[in-house]
Amino acid sequence: MISSIFGKTKPINYIIVLTFLFLLYWSVQFYSAANTFDIGQLLVKIASFIALILSVFFVNFIIQRNKITGPNSFAILFFGLLFLVFPETLLDFKAIFCAFFLILATRRILSVRSLKDIKLKVFDATLWVLISSLFCNWSLFFLLLVFSAIYIYEPKNIRNWLVPLVSVFVFGMITHTISLVLNTKNFLLEQYSYSIQFDKGYFLNWGTSTRFLFYVLLVITLGGWVFIKLGNSGLGKVTSMRLLGLSYILGLVVYMFSFSDGDTIILTFFPAVVFLTNYIESIQKEKIKEVVLIMSVFIPFLVFVSRLILS
């Protein structure tokens, strides 16, 4: 049943996923301890929800445009289900905005494969990463993704390597000018001051550590399986998957370094759903695929309900 619904790209699939995210998002907001908020906080929550909805559309657009997966809606299904596993991310508007802008950056990075307007795409990708760093300064690690794309597609053109520096300069000038107007002269120094605070309590907690480790091992295992299966695929798709693999690793690094800043595990969702979707597509027998999909839906709901009972 799930395979027949999400095995194709239909408008009804968007309606199902967006309705689910709407109910989940606002349920988490009102269930949380900080469920009393003023009009300003409400506007922020509405804006972050809009960014979340737009992320769903961009995830599907990027995947279909670059033909990273087949013509189906499994990716947006998994994208929604991951929020059941990590519902706390829905309370962190900074993480949602950061993930949204990194998805936009990834869109430009993956489009470099066409070898058209490379400098413009590199400039845009760098700028989106820099904007995301306004919400989580550790996301600057994703600049490595930009330089990796340059190295893979056109490393011999020196000007390509200089474009990110131009983007950094433009971003710095605009941000500094705005900070002067708003009388926050030290904004850049304060925003990009780094400190690593490792949260031992997170890993000592059986529930959270098990959930995190299971998620990481599952994606890495399925990602490895996907790379093996892609051996006979075109070079373009393999290269895109490698960039997404690097994106997943960078997302984990940012998450590990930004415990004190929020729930940035959401930064790994986009590459994760790509690997999960490719794995589902690799299953040839329809009955087995349906069973795997049912388990993929059942387990996140089980995790979510278990957390509600234990909390």
Q: Which amino acid is at 113?
A: R
Q: What is the pLDDT of residue 198?
A: 62
pLDDT at 234 over 80: no
Distance CA 81, CA 176 (A): 39
> Sign (positive/negative) of CA torsion 160, 162, 164, 169?
negative
pLDDT at 50 over 60: yes
Distance CA 229, CA 273 (A): 17
Q: What is the mean pLDDT of residues 46-54?
A: 96
Instruction: Choose among 211, 201, 208, 194: nearest CA to 257.
Output: 194
Q: What is the mean pLDDT of residues 33-62?
A: 88
What does pTM read for this prediction? 0.93
Distance CA 87, CA 265 (A): 11
By the 8 A CB rule, do 87 and 304 touch? yes
Distance CA 68, CA 64 (A): 7
Q: What is the pLDDT of residue 227?
A: 87
Length of the chain counted residue by residue: 311
Q: Residue 130 has which token pair? A: 């820099």
Question: In sequence order, what are the residues at sequence separation of 6 or more whose Cβ sits closer than 8 angstroms to the Cβ of residue 171?
Answer: 127, 130, 131
Instruction: Choose among 142, 146, 147: nearest CA to 132.
Output: 142
Distance CA 169, CA 43 (A): 32
Q: Give the range among 121-125, 183-187, 269-273 with minimum mean pLDDT.
A: 183-187
Query: Could you give the 3-state DSSP secondary structure of residue 283?
Result: coil
Most confident of 23-27, 205-209, 280-284: 23-27
Q: What is the pLDDT of residue 197?
A: 64
Q: Residue 186 gets which letter from DSSP?
A: T
pLDDT at 3 over 80: yes
pLDDT at 249 over 80: yes
Q: What pLDDT, in 10s, does the model give residues 90-106?
A: 999 999 999 999 999 99
pLDDT at 260 over 60: no
Q: What is the mean pLDDT of residues 182-202?
A: 76
Q: What is the pLDDT of residue 182?
A: 86
The fraction of the chain above a pLDDT of 90, given in percent, is: 64
The fraction of the chain above a pLDDT of 70, given in percent, is: 91
Query: Could you give the 3-state DSSP secondary structure of residue 198?
Result: coil
Q: What pLDDT, in 10s, does the model give residues 139-163?
A: 999 999 999 999 999 999 999 999 9
Domain with 146, as residue range(s), is 2-310
For the chain, what is the domain count? 1
Distance CA 200, CA 202 (A): 5
Q: Which amino acid is at 96?
A: I
